[in-house]
A and B are shown apart, each in its own frame.
Chain A
């Protein structure tokens, strides 16, 4: 009984999502703005990566493990 209810409730929940308006292809102006990109500024991303890499030390940042001296 409980299992059946779970399924029914899940179905009702998921159906609720279908009434959410979709963003249509012609409405993606805001999504196309540069500030919506994952990496809006390539230089800043490189700085952040470099800092992260140095801080991570021996465990390595975005790449392979290093010496951990913080000098790279």
Chain B
């Protein structure tokens, strides 16, 4: 009997930790992080825009592949209301800077060396990205970056922008 109770409690604990992850349809957690430019990157400042938050690290190979694509998307949809924010989760800023020297980013890059924002968003892998609608709600959570994801994500961008009335 004791054992049964214990197993039930263990299962409940496991399920509880899985539910804590950021979910679609919930408000995106706010952040205020030092950015590559002069001013901080704040989610609050981007109210009314469609925001694509991408968690990346210098040690993550698919992240490197996603950067040219994100540059392209920022150039294509930036004027239509999309802002891409790449949140770096490296513990050391030098690692991120070295990566950026070889893989330039033409979108906002923020630095979350303490991991506070990553803790709030609970990315399941590297990279994980969150598409946040103009209403501030998470529309899509995407883990990883493969070639075939490009088209699907671009469709999601277009859908989010048209939902915001910025077609």
Chain A contact residues, CB within 8 Å of chain B: 4, 7-8, 11, 14, 18, 24-29, 32-33
- Provide the main secondary structure of the chain B interface: loop
- Provide the main secondary structure of the chain A interface: helix
A33 in contact with B13 (CB, 8 Å): no
Whole-angstrom distance between the alpha carbons of A33 and B55 in the complex? 19
Of the residues A7, A18, A26, A33, contact of B57 by C-beta under 8 Å: A26
Size bin of chain B's contact surface: 20 to 34
- Min C-beta distance of B86 to chain A, whole Å: 13
A24-B118 CB under 8 A given contacts A29-B57, A32-B60: yes
Question: Which of chain A's residues has its CB closest to B61's CB?
Answer: A32
A29 in contact with B2 (CB, 8 Å): no
Taking CB atoms, residues of chain A closer than 8 Å to B47 are none
